[in-house]
């Protein structure tokens, strides 16, 4: 599922959370969430400035989404003089 976040410092952040399944050590099938995020310039919403699939699994959708948004904001902060208000 793709969700756009509030614009941040002239960029749009899009977070994509997908589900995956794995068998736990006890033999029970578990659902995990994977996250990827993309950053687009507000002026050019077609070509991403950055697009990153994370190599971390999460046990909740919200945890994955919040992590993706946080990582994208940190990326923007590291590449610009923008500071969060």
Longest dimension (CA), the chain: 50
pLDDT at residue 83 tops 60: no
CA distances from 72 to 15, 22, 26, 49, 84 (A): 9, 27, 35, 11, 13
Asked whether residue 85 is domain-assigned, the answer is no
Give the pLDDT band (50/70/90) at residue 85. very low
Identify the CA nearest to 36 among candidates 9, 6, 71. 71
User: Which residues span the domain enclosing 56?
Assistant: 2-79
Asked whether residue 36 is domain-assigned, the answer is yes
- To 5 degrees, how large is the angle CA 49–CA 63–CA 8? 35
Tens-digit pLDDT profile for residues 25-73: 888 888 999 999 999 988 876 788 899 999 889 999 999 999 999 999 9
13 close to 73: Cβ distance less than 8 angstroms: yes
Domain total for the chain? 1
Asked whether residue 56 is domain-assigned, the answer is yes
Residue showing tokens 């960029």: 11
């Amino acid at each position: 599922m793709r969700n756009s976040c509030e614009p941040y410092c002239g960029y749009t952040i899009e977070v994509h959370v997908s589900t995956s399944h794995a068998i736990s050590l006890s033999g029970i099938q578990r659902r995990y969430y994977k996250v990827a995020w993309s950053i687009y310039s507000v002026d050019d919403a077609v070509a991403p400035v950055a697009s990153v699939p994370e190599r971390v699994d999460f046990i909740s959708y919200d945890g994955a989404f919040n992590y993706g948004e946080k990582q994208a904001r940190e990326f923007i902060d590291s590449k610009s003089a923008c500071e969060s208000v």
